Amino acid sequence: MDETRKTTGGTIRGTVADGIASFLGVPYAAAPVGPRRFARPEPTSWDGERDATVPGPTAPQGPTEAPGMPDISPVLGPGWVPGSEYLTVDVRTPDTGGSGGSGLPVMVFVHGGSFTGGSSRASVYDGTQLAREGAVVVVINYRLGVPGFAHVPGVVANRGLHDQIAALRWVHDNAAAFGGDPDRITVFGESAGGIGVADLLVAAPPGLLRRAVVQSGGGSHALAPQQAAVTTAALAEDLGVTPAGLVDVPDEGLVAALGRLGQDPPDLAVGGRDPLMGLALVGPVIDDDLLGGQPVDAVAAGAAAALDLLVGSNADEMALYSVVLGEAMGLPGPDEDALHAAVARLHDDPGAVIAAYRSAGRGTSAAEVDDAVRTDWMFGVPARRLADAHQGRTWRYAFGWRSPGWEGRLGACHALELPFVFDVVGRVDTGAFVTVDTEETRALAARMRTAWVAFARDGDPGWPGYTADAPTTQRFDTTDALTDTPDGPEQAVWDGVR
């Protein structure tokens, strides 16, 4: 059955199935083409009734599937689906017979993908089950790669982040049309999306947000301009243009160049450590507009104190990269020399770090210690620092359910919590993540879905809040548990290290 809603841009026609209304590919900004391609997003509108029954195009990006590679498309989507109108949102909401209703919490999801991939079309991001719990669920698309995040001379920085703000503004202005409360908007995101959410804590205009959830992200990952310029220069050299000339290169050329650069990435540790740890070549940049510095420092100074914050990470984040992607590409695990060199890029005393992690039982082999160190540096430590810095109401979680995939070595890897948060375990194929469909996993998914919606609705996910002095943290696993010691003693090696 079809159903229509009136938005600020025009009328849209979606579908209703099993009590959930879906509106897909709804533009929140004008197509980023021509002079808008490297500019701030602009509002859009249309005449007549717009079809919102099928997914829209996606931002230019590389493929998410390749022969011999594990299937991670459930959290990245189908890759590049061409079309100019890709600054869109997908909305799912409890059906109210077209009246719109009012008062439901609104949950806006920002997808991950290293700032170069991903879309709302990923099967895991189906917001149906969250909507059944009583929320309006919005999944946004934004510019990626060079058009979204490369630091190009002569154009506005952080264009992808500007897109996210424009999407939030559209959601705020149109929440009531879908039964939502514009004063109860929660933005949540994972990985690059989690970093984006942490940035939005300080970059979003007042009044757009009430709450935020940072999943496997943090407020310590903004690139300095001189670091971002390394990628820009390398891309320009590859394409035979000046850095400013990147704006004239077609999307196909930019995607291909970024892919080539990823095969032999440049060192972004210029004037300091690479805050993205080599996992991304582009990303949010410190500028004179949205990000005046690292977001965690602004949060510590009082920014976002009026917002409720839920933040957390997974126990074995780096296993996605070392076990799944590393083995598929035939990359050898590090030996002791390689481990020492890798840790030296993160800490001035790598020997002390390695000894601390081995003493704490965080690994025996070089590969195990490398995974543990990088899991903490990129994900665990930034989550703790953001939670400690936040001066408003704060909650923290830790995801520990271990996938049986890859002979159990996948563990609680990066992005594994997503099928549980969206409660799609047993409902969609999760590919390489191997979530398995059992009574225990479905129960865990139901608990996480309920907690996320409760946080969006009431600002209380169902466990005590977090402070630096009383760091109560909810561990999600087959059996959930509260802990007041979420961080091992080995993490003390990172104190004072930025």
Digit-coded pLDDT (tens) for 414-451 = 999 999 999 999 999 999 898 899 999 999 999 999 99
Single pTM value for the model: 0.97
- Asked if the structure places residue 65 within a domain, the reply is yes
pLDDT of residue 97: 65
pLDDT 10s digits, 142-178: 999 999 999 999 999 999 999 999 999 999 999 999 9
Active site residues: 191, 317, 414
Cα–Cα distances in Å, from 44 out to 31, 264, 359?
A: 8, 39, 57
pLDDT classification of 100: cutoffs 50, 70, 90: low
- Asked if the structure places residue 348 within a domain, the reply is no
The total number of structural domains that make up the chain:
1
- Asked if the structure places residue 469 within a domain, the reply is no
| Token representation of residue 445 | 């998914």
**Mean pLDDT along residues 186-213:** 98
* Statement: residue 389 has pLDDT above 90: yes
* Statement: residue 98 has pLDDT above 70: no
- Asked if the structure places residue 196 within a domain, the reply is yes
pLDDT classification of 74: cutoffs 50, 70, 90: very high
* Domain extent at residue 158: 2-312
- Asked if the structure places residue 78 within a domain, the reply is yes
- Asked if the structure places residue 169 within a domain, the reply is yes
pLDDT 10s digits, 38-53: 999 999 999 999 999 9
Q: Which residue has the higher pLDDT, 226 or 329?
A: 226
Find the CATH number of the domain harbouring 269. Answer: 3.40.50.1820
* Statement: residue 28 has pLDDT above 60: yes
Size of the chain, expressed as the number of residues it contains: 498
- Asked if the structure places residue 97 within a domain, the reply is yes
**Mean pLDDT along residues 8-21:** 98
| Token representation of residue 96 | 């109210």
- Asked if the structure places residue 337 within a domain, the reply is no
